[in-house]
Structure 1
Amino acid sequence: MESNKEIISDLQELLAIVNDGKEGYESACEVTDKIELQGVFLKYAAQRAGYAEELKSHIATHGGVGDNESGGILGALHRTWIDLKQALSSKEDVAILEAVVTGEKAAIEKYDKYIADYQDHADHMQLLQRHREGILNALKEIETLLVARKA
């Protein structure tokens, strides 16, 4: 079994990722002038804030501290939402949506990594699966919006 320290580290990494997503969605909302997109971005920013609180609770359960309110300290390696900043400067909805898709796919990959490690994460597996499903649903909605704007 993985040590508590490693489980805490895994959960902190997911916390950084959901906070990156929250920040990305908030930034995207501020830049776009489309009411429809603002609503979608705010919805998913709030979702990620909720996920962050749930992860903090599980980190505390394992004796760790989940005080990360902003994105990851791991730099560009894990902060694929950094692409969003470049897209935001263009203020083009297609570029913003494409950057969001990239960030969501990276988040799903991270969740998949820890979900595959079922034995070590069994006590919070349902939480991880629910978060992954929510991120996947967000990805599908963003991809639908992207396809519509490219048409």
Structure 2
Amino acid sequence: MANETIARALTDILNLNRTSVKGYQEAAEEVKNADTKAKLSQFSQQRAGFVSDLEGYAKQYGIDAHDTNTVESLATDAAAAVHRGWINIKSAITGQSDSAVLEAAETGEASALKAYETVLSSNDVPAGAKTVFQQQHDAILQAKNWLAMNKAK
């Protein structure tokens, strides 16, 4: 059971982060402010690092997280794809307002936090994996807080 749980958790969180990499790249392309663009690119690179870290962890458990999709991960990926689409729609409606893009990204981070909190609340996830998930959760929370503070500027 624990192996199945960690496989599902890793796959779901990996897919979420892969989508976040793309979402932040798209958001960085949409904003006009150079500092904001740089920060969003930094968040994209951070998520790519999360993917790399989690793929390494998946290998330790003998999990092929590249091609595996769970029902939950498909739903997560679909929700994230909708979120990316929302960034595009919202920026088109608002004339590519930086604050609108940041608001949409903040919404995406709120969804990511919920996914991490679900994994962190599981008793079947090994302590070592929980540590990695907790560190990434904390970084996502910091990103969400940055987005919240900067969308009003």
1:100 aligns with 2:101: no
Secondary structure, counterpart of 1:33 in structure 2: coil
Q: Which moved more, 1:122-131 or 1:102-111?
A: 122-131
Secondary structure, counterpart of 1:81 in structure 2: helix
- TM-score of the superposition, structure 1-length normalised? 0.85
The answer to whether the 8 A contact 2:6-2:124 is kept is no
Q: Which residue of 2 aligns with 1:76?
A: 78
Q: Which residue of 1 aligns with 2:127?
A: 122
Q: Structure 1: which 5+ runs fail to align?
A: none
Cα 1:11–1:29 shift into 2, 3 Å: same
- TM-score of the superposition, structure 2-length normalised? 0.84
Aligned-CA RMSD value: 1.9
Q: Which moved more, 1:100-109 or 1:75-84?
A: 75-84
State how far apart, in whole Å, the 1-side matches of 2:122 and 2:65 are.
21
Q: Structure 2: which 5+ runs fail to align?
A: 68-72
Identity between Structure 1 and Structure 2 (%) = 21
Paired residues, number: 144
State how far apart, in whole Å, the 2-side matches of 1:25 and 1:121 are.
30
The answer to whether the 8 A contact 2:2-2:124 is kept is no
Q: Give the drift of 1:57.
A: 0.9
Q: Give the drift of 1:78.
A: 5.1
1:47 aligns with 2:52: no
Q: Give the drift of 1:31.
A: 1.7
Cα 1:78–1:41 shift into 2, 3 Å: closer
